[in-house]
Amino acid sequence: MHTVTFAFTGKGGVGKTSLSAAMIRLLLERYPDKKILAIDADPAVGLATALAMQPPMTLDDVRLKIAASIDKGETADAVALLSEARFHLLDCMDERGNLSFLAIGRPEAAGCYCKVNAYLKQVIETISGNFDFVVIDGEAGIEQINRRVLETITCLVLVSDGSQKGIQVVSTIQHVASRLVQCEKSGVIFNRIRPGFALPAAQELPPVLAVIGDDDAQAQNDMQGESVFSLPDDAPLLRGAAQALDALLQENRP
């Protein structure tokens, strides 16, 4: 099975989570027979709300359980937990039809568990191979790129608003990712754009996938805590996400 992976990155507050959710909705609608994995890699866990999903536990809950055994010197237990990590990850998933949801959680505990983290990362990569599409809502900034949490992906989707800071962040992510990430394709979505916005010079960024203006329907949706599935089909967010998806899947159909 050829898995197509989308990773959404950019500075905080530009709409990465909303766009990730919109992409997932479109994939579900266009490919009803395909298996889709949504991974919330942002500690804020906003993607769960956007998709109306409720994971029973997070990946970090599993990591902490393993780390606690190591701290107590229970090496046998730790080895047993590691060998069963795949099943623990399945316990973390919320499933609805052909959509599965996994939240990374808040990896903030003291101590260094690099081997544990590396092993769990390998298990996630193994699980991802069982899906046709994987959509990752990354945390703000470039840390997940620097830590190589996002190391092998199909499509890197950079999201920016019209601010110079937003554009600088995606430019930096693109530069760092070009050295650290194996990526087949990358592109920029400009979101929440007001009239008069001028696109930056083409040489500064990868291709522009879509430019999305203010979306009153999405703003209302957010205020009411509704999922992306409540949006009307003609919402600017969905139209822009569809344009980006068309561009990204031209050569990457599963």
What CATH number is attached to the domain comprising 110? 3.40.50.300
Task: Check pLDDT > 50 for residue 113.
Answer: no
For 183-224, the pLDDT digits (tens) are 889 999 999 998 888 888 766 688 999 999 999 999 999 889
Which of the two residues, 61 and 14, has the higher pLDDT score?
Answer: 14
Burial of 76 (0-12, 13-18, 19+ CB in 10 A): exposed
Amino acid 179 reads: R
Q: Let me know: does 194 contact 164? Beta carbons within 8 Å.
A: no
CA angle, corner 187, sides to 183 and 192, nearest 5? 140
Task: Check pLDDT > 70 for residue 234.
Answer: yes
Query: Whole-model pTM?
Result: 0.85
9-32 mean pLDDT: 95
Task: Check pLDDT > 70 for residue 1.
Answer: no
Asked, for residue 134, whether it belongs to a domain, the answer is: yes
**Torsions phi, psi of 20, nearest 5?**
-60, -45
Task: Check pLDDT > 80 for residue 60.
Answer: no
Asked, for residue 200, whether it belongs to a domain, the answer is: yes
Tokens linked to 92: 């973390």
**Which residues have CB under 8 Å from 120's CB, separation 6+?**
59, 62, 63, 66, 85, 89
Asked, for residue 216, whether it belongs to a domain, the answer is: yes
Lowest mean per-residue pLDDT among 66-70, 74-78, 228-232: 74-78
Average pLDDT, the chain: 82
Asked, for residue 49, whether it belongs to a domain, the answer is: yes
Residue with tokens 């568990």: 113
Number of domains making up the chain:
1
For every residue of 120-142, DSSP letters joined together read HHHHHHHHHTT-SEEEEEPPSSS
DSSP element (H, E) containing 13: none
Query: Residue 17's domain spans which residues?
Result: 4-248
49-69 mean pLDDT: 80
